Each structure stands twice: as structure tokens, then as C-alpha cells.
Structure 1
């Protein structure tokens, strides 16, 4: 493919160079030919005028045409190769070169010596003196006499144009080869890098210098490969984390069930509560994975209807109140009406994931505040805590899929916040996180609000 592209580029340069040279030669030759023909016409006109003046001088007003003077013009006319016939005002023949004292043989000899060539069509020149017509001069000039040297000049110009075209073609070939190599080399390198990556060399990158479009394409290719490598690394880490998260509750379930089967442990209500908690833990993990997968699917759909975020927060807070109590945390709800058009189940999942996320970071004795309001046509939901905040290294990645922070105090799937981002974006909103100046982290969700009267219609 690269070789074919190189050949096409080289051929294109050659064709352009030769075409430009040929077009230039044609235009120059056409322009030169026109001017050359004009020049020949001017030369013929000047020679005819010279002959007319010479013959007019052989006329005397009182005596008419002077035969001796006309005969003296014969050598001049014969050397020019012209054919001349003079008639008076009445149309009577007065003089011709063949009737002169030179004779036809001498005239022909002079014509042969001058290599005059064929005669041009005869033209009539009216001769006047003092405003009175004294006769007509019929002149036929030879075509070859005047332009002989000029044709040699024209021929040399054509040769120069031809040589110039060949030189331009040669330069075009050289420039085409050089330019095609320079153009194709980075493409060849990029193709080679892609094939090496396909063959399994994950460290291969395209080595292309410069800042043109191909170099930018190569850098974009390298960035894409780096991004894929990073994503693969994160996915591998995520797979390991998920395997660990699955293994822990499964191990607990298996050990306790086997203990009951062996009669080592009595099936008490406390044991059943422990088994139930582990199944809930597995359920949360699989639910998060399912939600994120469905958010990526083209079939993912939201069942929208008017929803008040204050009601969503109230229900999510009530459902998690016991977990906050177990973690010795205060959950503070400060909500004002904030109506949006959304999927109530998905929005409650967003609030639940944000609240359960705080359980992993906020130490006992801390507090979590959830507030809702409407500002400038946007419904806002804030969740902020007084915990240690988020590490600067983790802050920019908390919404990335498969990313887990380094300060998690308890086990988790590591994709809860990625699910939050996916669901908020599906609602056409945005979610951000910052560290508060006094400590703790603050999450803010902004959605398009609707009229509160619409929210009341359920």
C-alpha cells in the first residue's frame, strides 16, 4: 500500500511538472507565433512601402514615367526576389522586371541566388504624387526572403522550450521521489507500528517527528495506544478487585454454611442475619455492574416523569438511616423543592451511591449533609461531608470506571461513583466533586429543573 501510494505521488509530481512545462510551451509558442506573424507582416509592409517609394521617385510630373530610372531599379527588385509590374493611371502596363534590360534569365538567376522561395499572393499598391494618382504597382513578395533567419530563431526557441520541458520533467521526477518518500515514510512507520501492536508488541509506538497532519495523526495514535494500555491496566486491577470482593462474601457464606452442615455452628438468628448481609453485599456488587453495563448499552432507557429531588433524598436517607447509625454518623437533610424530569428509581440510586460512598471515607462521629435547591433554572443536589476529603491523586479519577480510591475504609465494588456519573449524564446533567476548605468532600449534581406544579402531577 505504501509503495503504491509512493508511486502515485511520484507519478502525480511528474505529470504536474510535464503538464505545466507542456502548457507553458504551448502558450509561449502560441504567443510567440502570433507576434512573429505580426512581425513578418510588418516586414512585408515595410518592403512594399520601400518599393512603392522607389517607383514613385521614377515619375516626373511633366514627363511621366522615366524608363531609365525604372531600369535602374531592376537589380534591387531582382535581389529582393519580388515580382513587380507597374501600370499607369489608365491601366496601361509601363514596366515589369521581365521587360527590363536584365532579361528573364538574369532575373531568374538573381532569384535562385537569393533562395527567395514561393511568391506570396500579389497585392496592388496605389501610387500617388501631390494627391494625384499616377499609377498602380502590383507586387508579389517571396515568402522565404524575409523570414528565413527569423524561422531559424523560432526553431531555436521551440528547441529551448522542449529542453526546458524535459528539464522541468526531470526536476519533477526528482521532487516527486523526494516528496513522496517524505510523505509516505511517516505513514509507513504508522502502519508498521499498528501491525506490531496487532502482533502483540504493546510497547510499540509510532516514531514520527514534525507538526504536520500526519505527525499529529501519529501522536493521536500513540495517545490512543497509551489510553488503551491504561484502560487495560485499570480493567485488570478492577477484575482483581471484583474477584476479591466476590471471594470475601462467598468465602463467608461457604464457611458458615459448611459449619452448620457439620454441626459445628448452630443456625441461630444472628447467623442468618450475617448470611443475609453477605448476600446483600453480593447483590449490591452485581447491581452496580449491571447498572453500569446497561448505561453503556444503546437500549438503556429512562422512565422519565416529574420528580422532586427533595422526595428522592428523603426516601434514600430513610433507607440508609440504619447504616449511618451503625457507622456512628449523622445524616443531615436540608432540602428545598427541586423538580426535574427524570427516572425516580435511577435518581434514588444516584443518591444512594453517593451516600454509601461517604460511609467508606467518613470516620465515626462525622456527619454527612444532603441539600437540594433550584438555582437559575437548574436543580442542584449537594452531598458534602466533614471527612478527610479525597486525595489529590484520586480527585480527578473518582468518576472513572473501574477506579478505586486509596482511602477506602471498607470493601466496595469500586464502581459506585462511575454509576453515578453514567446515570447523571443519561439525565442530561453534570456531576462534580471538590474538596472543601475546612475538610471533607462535596459532590454536586445539576439537572434541568421543571415547574413545581408539573412535579406535583404524579
Structure 2
């Protein structure tokens, strides 16, 4: 059900993406149509205004010429202008310089119906707004002409042109929408295909199929996500393998001391063996072995939360390392291993218990692998704001194929002894990271191993 719902959502996403492309294409074409029609409207308006102004100037020139010819206003001469004014479909009224009415179309027996008929015949449109225009002769104003000229009409050829352009714009909008829809569907499918595959792979991984990987890895952000998913899946698969191996090792480690304890106790119960000091010491050793194994498991479980449980305090790392070395000196002496130190004075802010655990795990690890007669050397320096602790040994070294995995939580070297849990270095690395530092290793088979712990130091007060 959940898978079907996600398929539906992916389908809806693809459809929305395709429709968004189509809407963008149609919207662009529609915006173009609006802009073109706005430009046409403005241009036609200017055209009609120019027609009105031309007619107005023609009428003013007509009356000015009549005044100049007669050297004044003459009613009979003005009546002769009436047919010309009538043919334009305009209304006209003439005032002299004092504002007195000199002449109008009504004086020439021209009524509004006649003017309307002429406008209809000429196709000049309705009358525009009234205008009062000065009539000048030789630079002198001799009167005022009050006129209303027809507004004019857009020529049929212009209207046809505008209609054809609008038709092309509509067709272009539909075509752009169709092309955008096709491109959107294609793009949506290409964009969602890697997501769909990644989702299938994630579903498979969640269902326990650790071999599921994303195979379609485009060169974009989705490809980066697919690569990150594959890396995560590889790590999950590797950790599963290591966890199974670790569980088998733990079961083996538990089985051995438990079997010994059981056989010893049954022998004591049956009277086969006497409860001597040797028998009790053997049981005690096996119990200690179980205790160490359980303690290591508890440490590993708590290492994840170390960053949240650290009890930090200013302390001398030099003194802490010295105390830790002193506590393990007898163990090294008993194993026939020489332990040397070269420690500078370094101050850090850290959890002393966890820090001691980091150093102890490295030293006990050296105890497991360095043969009798070998040497372990500890050096402590302050370098560029870091406390650098190096634990170098003359042991057999670590094989190149094992070196990248020695800090893995469930990794155990082939050369590890049976009395170890195989998680000490993993715990030390995680505790170092919790302090804001690092734990690294350099090794070569036959030339020993050097572990380097780096921790932030306290600023030096001057």
C-alpha cells in the first residue's frame, strides 16, 4: 500500500512538472499577446488623435483664409464655408475677439441630423470632445473656433492586420503550450526516473535486501544523492557482515569460558575433583575473562553517546599518560616488553576517565601483538594547537589489507589473540572523535605500528 501511494505521488509529481511547463509556455504566449494588443491599441489611439488634429487644423486654416480674404468676418462668405464643414461631419461655431458669436452652422441652415448623415456616409465615426481653437491672421488672434470633429475610425486594413496578428498569437500560444507539454513530459520522466529507481532501491534495502543499489546516476544533484545512497548501502552491508562475524566471535568467546566453568563445576559436584586452590583459581580466571568481555561490550555500547556524557575539565595530559603507563608497567614487564616514554608538558580539556581509556586501549593492544623483547615508545608533543600522542611499537605490523579496517567497530585482525574482544581500537577512535580529535595508524608489516592521537589543547595563558 505504501509503495503504491509513493508511485501515485511520483506520477502526480511528473504530471505537475509537465503541466508547469505547459502553463509556462501558454503564459508566455498570453503575455506576448497582451503586450502586442496594448501596443496596437496605443498606436491606433495615436493614429486617431492625429486624424482629429489634422481636421481641426484644416478647419482653422479655412476660417483664417476667409478672414484674410475679406479683411474681416463676413456672414455671407462664412455661409459659403458651410458645405465644406458639413462634408467633414464636424460641428463649428465662430466667435470674434470679444467672445461674441459671429457664425455657426445653424446660421447656414445645417442641422445635427445632416451632420450625422455625412459622418455615416464618410465613415468618420462619432464626434469627439469639443475644442476651442484660436484663429490667427498675421500673428494676430482674430477669433476663436469652437469645433467638434469626428473621432475617426481605424481603417479596415489595420483591423484585419490586428485580427491576423491575434490569430497568429493564439495559434502560437496553443503551439507553445503543446511543445511545452511534450518537453515537460519528457523532462519529467527523465527527472523522476532516477528518483523512482532510488526509491525502489531504498524500499529493497529497508526490506532487508542489502544488495540493492541505485544504477541510474545522472550528473546532477539527484546523481549525488544516488551516490550517497549507494555509499550508505555499502556501509550498511559491510557493517552487517562485520556484525555477524562479531556475533560469532562473541559467541565463541563466551562459549569457551562457560564450557570450562561448567566442566569444572560439574567435576567438583561429582567429586571427581577436589575444591583445591588451583581449581578455584581456574574458575576465577575464567570469570575474569567473561567480565572483561562484558565490559568491552558495555564500552562499545556507550561510545556512541560519549559526546553527550563527557565530563570535561582542564587537566595535564602528561600526568594522565604517566599514571596510565605506571599502572600497566608490571604487565609490560611480565610480557618482556620494554616501555619507554618521552612526554612534553601538554594541557587539554577532556574527560579524564575517557582519556585514560583511549591511552589504555592502545597500550593493551600493543601488549597483545608485540612479542617478548619488543619495545613500545610513547611520545607526547604540542603541535599547532594539538596535543599529539604517538604510541609506536616494534611489533609485526599490520597487513595492508587490514590497516583501513582496524578502527571498524566489528573488525578483528586475523592475528588477534583469543583473549581479546577486538573492539578496543574502535572504542578509542570514537572517544577521540567525541573529544574533537582523531586516532590514526601507520604500519608496515615487519616494521611495527604507530598510533597517533590528536586532541585540541588548551590555549597557553601569557
Shorter-normalised TM-score: what interval?
0.7 to 0.9
1:363–1:387: 8 Å Cα contact kept in structure 2?
yes
- Give the unaligned 5+ runs of structure 1: 454-458
TM-score scaled by structure 2? 0.82
Separation of aligned partners in 1, 2:359 and 2:387: 14
Matched pairs, number: 452
Corresponding position of 1:46:
54
Q: 1:146: Cα distance to partner? A: 6.0
Corresponding position of 1:189:
197
Deviates more, 1:327-336 or 1:398-407: 327-336
Separation of aligned partners in 1, 2:308 and 2:237: 28
| 1:173 lines up with 2:181 in the alignment | yes
Name the CA shift for 1:34/1:246 in 2 (closer, same or farther; >3 Å). Answer: same
Deviates more, 1:141-150 or 1:62-71: 62-71
Q: Which of residues 110, 113, 120 is equivalent to 2:121?
A: 113
Name the CA shift for 1:218/1:335 in 2 (closer, same or farther; >3 Å). Answer: closer
SS in 2 for 1:396: helix
| 1:36 lines up with 2:36 in the alignment | no
SS in 2 for 1:368: strand
Q: 1:368: Cα distance to partner? A: 1.8
Deviates more, 1:144-153 or 1:125-134: 144-153
2:400–2:444: 8 Å Cα contact kept in structure 1?
no
Separation of aligned partners in 2, 1:23 and 1:147: 26
Q: CA RMSD in A?
A: 3.7
Corresponding position of 1:99:
108
Q: 1:393: Cα distance to partner? A: 1.8
Separation of aligned partners in 2, 1:243 and 1:103: 121
Deviates more, 1:150-159 or 1:40-49: 150-159
Separation of aligned partners in 2, 1:64 and 1:315: 130
Alignment of 1:54-453 (within 5 A): 54-61=62-69, 64=72, 77-85=85-93, 91=100, 93-94=102-103, 96=105, 99=108, 110-145=118-153, 150-151=158-159, 153-297=161-305, 301-305=309-313, 307-374=315-382, 378-435=386-443, 439-449=447-457
Deviates more, 1:367-376 or 1:299-308: 299-308
Deviates more, 1:353-362 or 1:329-338: 329-338
Separation of aligned partners in 1, 2:306 and 2:381: 32
Separation of aligned partners in 1, 2:383 and 2:104: 116
Q: 1:223: Cα distance to partner? A: 1.7
1:124–1:137: 8 Å Cα contact kept in structure 2?
yes
Q: 1:87: Cα distance to partner? A: 5.8
Separation of aligned partners in 1, 2:290 and 2:314: 32
TM-score scaled by structure 1? 0.83
